[in-house]
Amino acid sequence: MQGVDFKRAHTEEQRSERRRQILDATAVMLTEMPVAKLSLNELSRRVGLAKSNVLRYFESREAILLELLDAESREWLAELDQVLPPVAAASGIAGFGSPRERGDRLAAVIAETVSRRPVLCDLWSAQATVLEHNVSAAVALEYKRATGRALVLQVGLIRRCVPELGPHDATRLVATIVLTIAAAWPACQPSEALRAAYAADPEVAAMQVDFTDLLRQTIAVSVSGLLVRGENLPFGPLRS
């Protein structure tokens, strides 16, 4: 991105292109460094634009990262839509087997596809503590509305595989998935000192947690638990 000609945009199309170039440069930087180390100064240098001019298109570093998080989330959901099996005409369900078996397969697919997207995981892990700060109410509102649209899509994908989960429980599952990623991702990215400790002592190495496996197990257990709780409700599972 170094040396891109960033003359002031005069049309909405030009402004959109400038914003896209800034977002693309940010995405590349996040493949090289965590969110915590990404600075507006370095981003400005890479796009060949003064920091004050970057701020013509985004009000803050965090606003850039929130928009990138939304874009990364939408890309992941599009991939998930392609990877999950289609709904069978005969059963109206994606996949086969019992609800628990379908839930296990859903958990595996989600864990595997998310694990291949470290930028998305890093952004989610920083969302509440970093990204949602230093932004205006307008930016926060726009992001939360985008999150709501993504939530609807994710609930639909979950219920495609496990329709026995009503909208309420599927929404609970989405929250569990995102919060698990946010907590587990940084915990599964050991520092250089920890990597050295793991290499030096097999007993210490056994304490390492595999992110993909942890996420898969958490989702699978959550699906099973929500199904059982639904079955045990006095008037049957809620399907509103």
pLDDT, tens digit, for every residue of 104-150?
A: 999 999 999 999 999 999 999 999 999 999 999 999 999 999 999 99
CA distances from 213 to 69, 94, 164, 196, 206 (A): 23, 23, 24, 22, 14
CB 57 within 8 A of CB 25: no
Q: Does residue 4 register a pLDDT over 70?
A: no
Neighbours of 3 (CB within 10 A): 8
Chain-centroid distance of CA 239 in Å reads: 27
Q: Which pTM was predicted?
A: 0.86
- The pLDDT tens digits for 201-218 are 988 888 888 999 999 999
Statement to judge: residues 120 and 215 lie in one domain: yes
Is 65 a member of any domain?
yes
**Percentage, residues of the chain above pLDDT 70:** 92
Q: Among 53, 110, 107, which Cα is nearest to 81's?
A: 110
Confidence of residue 3 (pLDDT cuts 50, 70, 90): very low
Terminal alpha carbon distance of the chain? 49
Is 239 a member of any domain?
no
Chain-centroid distance of CA 95 in Å reads: 24
Return the CATH number at 3.
1.10.10
Statement to judge: residues 66 and 170 lie in one domain: yes
Is 127 a member of any domain?
yes
CB 47 within 8 A of CB 21: yes
Give me the domain span that covers residue 74. Answer: 60-231
User: How many domains does the chain fold into?
Assistant: 2
